[in-house]
Homo-oligomer: A and B are copies of this chain.
Amino acid sequence: MNSIFSKVSYFSDLPSEDLLAIEKNAHKRVFKAEQMVVMEGDISGGMYLVESGWLKVSKLSVGGREQVLNFLGPGDVFNAIAVFTDKPNQASVIALEKSSVWWIARETISELIQTHPALAKRVISDLASRIQHLVNLVEDLSLRTIESRLARILVESMEESTVKRHKWATQNEMAARLGTVPDVLNRTLRKFVDEGLIEVKRHQIRILDLETLKLKAE
């Protein structure tokens, strides 16, 4: 009998009896699109694992502006920070489409870490890559223009000269990811179109001039 957790790389090093123990202490929850899973300021003593669907981690300003810190898909873990500190959540997690997630109590994880160094290493390397991602975000926000950021994201998320867009990947969401407003993103997209760099279609963006785009991404 295979636990669902066995497929998740986060727990792949654990023996199956531990996986079953986790599953026993985990609770499955399903969220509809737009629903809030974790709210900034709350104290939620546990971590989550995405089984299906997509979600976003974001911060909201008083003025209604939004900055997306991360997108989460199947297999991703979030709210891990809450397990290791007693501070309230720094960001909200919102479902972008119907999603099912598992909630695992802080104690469950905490105890396993004590006894399984391999899990501890997993957690550490996960946090380390989160830091790398955040440092990149800081670099983008502080040292690059929106044009450069957009070019970078297009180049990075490209596969076979096209960038596939999820159903929820509206210009609204993309703008929040870049740390700007929809209007400005749209303006920049159109500019790239005018310059013949890309072609914006229904659910994908086609890269026409990768070289120039890479140049703009620096």
Interface residues of A (CB under 8 A from B): 59, 61-63, 65, 67, 69, 81, 84-85, 87, 90-91, 113-115, 117, 120-121, 123-125, 127-132, 134-139, 141-144, 179, 218
Contacts and interface: CB of A to CB of B under 8 A. Distances in A.
Contact of A113 (B121, B130, B142, B179): B121
Contacts of A144: 61
Contact of A139 (B59, B114, B121, B128): B59
Contact of A128 (B69, B81, B121, B141): B81
Given A85-B128, A135-B90, A218 B62 contact: yes
B131 A131 contact: yes
Contacts of A59: 135, 138-139, 142-143
Contact of A125 (B84, B125, B128, B136): B84
